[in-house]
Chains A and B, each alone.
Chain A
Amino acid sequence: MFAACADPKAIEGLTWAACYLTSGKHLDFYWSFVTVLMLLAITAPAALAMGFAGATAARSRFLPLSLLGKAYAAIVRGVPDIVFFLFFVIALDQGIEWMKHQIVCPDWTEPVRQGLEFRVCPQAKVPLGSSSAIWHQAYGFGLAVFTFAIVFGAFAANVLYGAMSAVPRSQLETAEAYGMSQGQVFRRILVPQMWVYALPGLSNLWMILIKATPLLFLLGVKDIVYWARELGGSKTQAYEYPHPDWRLWYFLGLLVFYLLFTKVSEIVLARLSARLSHGQATAAGEAMRKVAA
């Protein structure tokens, strides 16, 4: 990056450290933090939307829909999330390719599953074998985001379902007495009031989501864990910057990153919770009223 870094073997001390920490691979490493933050930024609203849909479905009066919603919310209870992660990434990939295969190559006669192989016609590969590496990466990232959204959507559905049932029944009955329709009661009374009940659960979910991001590594995305292992591993003299095994230090760095991240989230969420509790008919709201009085 800098001119002084042209010959890394000749420099030492602080200059060496500065050059080492700004090498091309390290810049990739720093970018991977952005990948993680991006994953969180996309996944959190997506999971919330899935959860909202799931919770609404679970409350539905139409039995099959309600069963579907409840089953979706229940999957998180019994099965480790990592099983879903490993499963969905392959299953989604194969599902998408299979569907594209049906559309693109209708006259393909060979079976898709041949013994131990999954073979679709070359035009049905996603992304196409000829497309550039960036598309492969984007596709992998997209699959990971979708998988995270499905799994955490189930957690969120659980939280929101509980929150919806926690809104006092009398509030809804009052709205009905005013002549509001079912949809109006849902939109104007239930949804605005449920957030304060949902917030503790959603805060916890956000923490879990942060702590689940290293699993991106298992899904084949080049995330911070991948780079920490890659950069930290011992480098021989063949490399520009030879050094012994420094993986411990890289992982300590990641640990500090996550600790800071969760700490900041905790502080922000506590403030948000205080603001939402203001004037609410809950224990927290009552406590705030007493302090003010």
Chain B
Amino acid sequence: MSCWQTVQDYAFRSIGLGENLLPRTDFTLCQQITLIGSGLIWNIYFGVLALAFGFFLAVAVALAKSSRRALLRKPAEWFVFVLRGSPLFIQFFLAYETLQLLPKAGINLLGITVETSWTTRAWAGALFVLFLNTSAYAAEIFHGALRSIPKGDLEAAEAYGLTGWQKFRRIQWPTMLRLAWPSYTNEAIFLFHATTLVFFSGFPAFRQMGDALYYANYFADKTFNPFVPYPIVAAYFIALTLLLTFAFSLVNKHLNRHLPSNQKSRIRLRPQIIR
């Protein structure tokens, strides 16, 4: 079987298209590269959607956490504490077990039956957990950025007569983003890494449709040779990380476009803020 044929069969195997049966004997390098790459679709799906939804929740939680009103601040503090203080692995298990407790027949809401079975599937349940998790980590980053906005900037804004929403929109929001962006890039990278946990923690891979690590693990189990599939996953993730860093550095450039070039903050790994 030619390599092109393999690509046609397995390139979209992880989303259920193409050949249904996974290779069982005579594993070729081409098969491993194709199938593991196909699994990467799931990592990107989880990472991109969790990040996109999580951004908004994170900003909201960060603002609530900086609020003077205890009614807003306390829940935000607890949200961040619980999700940052416990392992993602346990969160996945817990979410899966909780979602399984929902009535199988569906919930009757005002005469309309809402299906519940889809919530235990990885595409919904795991995405929800990742969404909450990244929101908590990013909220902490944004909260830190809000607190380190220079005092002079805020005083200047007030001197100009800016208050409330205007002050937030014109001063706090852009400064917060600018200060938080390098750390937020780190968070995004580690979120993509965290997506590999999904199929190893409670959420089963439906019809063997799994992520990159799921297929790498499949090959390592079958061939009993870890030296081929795991380096392939590693290579895919290094490429993904580089791509992500590039995309985020474009945004960073845009955020810092008004600064002279020697004052711009560059994006690099900051080990004190990785998750």
A208 and B274 contact, Cβ closer than 8 Å, known pairs A77-B269, A225-B93, A255-B90: yes
Which residues on B sit within 8 Å (CB–CB) of A204?
A: 271-274
A142 touches B (CB below 8 Å):
no
Instruction: Tell me whether A82 and B90 are in contact (CB under 8 A).
Output: no
Chain B contact residues (Cβ within 8 angstroms of A): what range?
Answer: 35 or more
Which residues on A sit within 8 Å (CB–CB) of B86?
A: 211, 255, 258-259, 262
User: How many A residues, CB 8 Å from partner?
Assistant: 48
- The 8 A CB mask of A145-162 against B (1 = contact, 0 = none) is 000000000010011001
A272 touches B (CB below 8 Å):
no
Instruction: Tell me whether A82 and B226 are in contact (CB under 8 A).
Output: no
A248 touches B (CB below 8 Å):
yes
Which residues, 210 to 242 on A, are CB-close (under 8 Å) to B? 210-215, 217-218, 225, 228-229
The CB with the most chain A CB atoms within 10 A, among B88, B101, B200, is that of B200
Instruction: Tell me whether B196 and A80 are in contact (CB under 8 A).
Output: yes
Min CB distance B205 to A, Å, is 15
B85 touches A (CB below 8 Å):
yes
Which residues on A sit within 8 Å (CB–CB) of B94?
A: 248, 251-252, 255
B82 touches A (CB below 8 Å):
yes
A208 and B275 contact, Cβ closer than 8 Å, known pairs A87-B230, A262-B85: yes
Instruction: Tell me whether A79 and B238 are in contact (CB under 8 A).
Output: yes
Instruction: Tell me whether A94 and B272 are in contact (CB under 8 A).
Output: no
A134 to B238 alpha-carbon distance, docked (Å): 39
A83 touches B (CB below 8 Å):
yes
A66 to B25 alpha-carbon distance, docked (Å): 43
Min CB distance A162 to B, Å, is 7
Min CB distance A284 to B, Å, is 13
B193 touches A (CB below 8 Å):
yes
Instruction: Tell me whether B226 and A258 are in contact (CB under 8 A).
Output: no
Chain B residue with the shortest CB-CB distance to A256: B86
Min CB distance A173 to B, Å, is 25
Min CB distance B36 to A, Å, is 11
Which residues, 189 to 247 on B, are CB-close (under 8 Å) to A? 189, 192-194, 196-197, 200, 213, 216-217, 220, 222-227, 230, 233-234, 237-238, 241-242
B89 touches A (CB below 8 Å):
yes
Instruction: Tell me whether A113 and B225 are in contact (CB under 8 A).
Output: yes
B98 touches A (CB below 8 Å):
yes
A248 and B98 contact, Cβ closer than 8 Å, known pairs A78-B238, A82-B196, A91-B227: yes
Instruction: Tell me whether A86 and B213 are in contact (CB under 8 A).
Output: yes
Which residues on B sit within 8 Å (CB–CB) of A86?
A: 213, 216-217, 220, 226, 230
Instruction: Tell me whether A212 and B272 are in contact (CB under 8 A).
Output: no
Instruction: Tell me whether B85 and A258 are in contact (CB under 8 A).
Output: yes
A155 and B271 contact, Cβ closer than 8 Å, known pairs A78-B241, A83-B233: yes
A210 to B90 alpha-carbon distance, docked (Å): 12
Inter-chain residue pair count (beta carbon < 8 A)? 121
B153 touches A (CB below 8 Å):
no
Q: Which of B226, B237, B272 contacts A80 (CB 8 A)?
A: B237
A217 to B200 alpha-carbon distance, docked (Å): 10
Instruction: Tell me whether B272 and A225 are in contact (CB under 8 A).
Output: no
A107 touches B (CB below 8 Å):
no
Min CB distance B274 to A, Å, is 6
A229 to B97 alpha-carbon distance, docked (Å): 10
The CB with the most chain A CB atoms within 10 A, among B84, B274, B275, is that of B274
- The 8 A CB mask of B76-104 against A (1 = contact, 0 = none) is 00000110111111110110011001000
Which residues on A sit within 8 Å (CB–CB) of B85?
A: 258-259, 262-263
Instruction: Tell me whether B222 and A80 are in contact (CB under 8 A).
Output: no
A201 and B233 contact, Cβ closer than 8 Å, known pairs A94-B226, A116-B222: no
Which residues on A sit within 8 Å (CB–CB) of B222?
A: 116
Which residues on B sit within 8 Å (CB–CB) of A252?
A: 94
Instruction: Tell me whether A162 and B225 are in contact (CB under 8 A).
Output: no
Chain B residue with the shortest CB-CB distance to A160: B271
A254 to B88 alpha-carbon distance, docked (Å): 12
A200 touches B (CB below 8 Å):
yes
Which residues on B sit within 8 Å (CB–CB) of A158?
A: 269, 271
Instruction: Tell me whether B90 and A225 are in contact (CB under 8 A).
Output: yes
Which residues on A sit within 8 Å (CB–CB) of B233?
A: 79, 83
What 6 A-B pairs are tightest by C-beta distance, nearest first?
A80-B193, A78-B238, A87-B230, A200-B272, A214-B89, A211-B87
**Mind listing 5 A-B residue pairs with CB under 8 Å?**
A77-B189, A204-B271, A204-B272, A214-B89, A248-B94
Known: A79-B193, A80-B192, A259-B81. 15 other contacts (CB 8 A): A79-B233, A80-B213, A81-B193, A158-B271, A159-B271, A162-B271, A201-B271, A204-B272, A204-B273, A225-B90, A245-B97, A248-B97, A248-B98, A258-B87, A263-B81
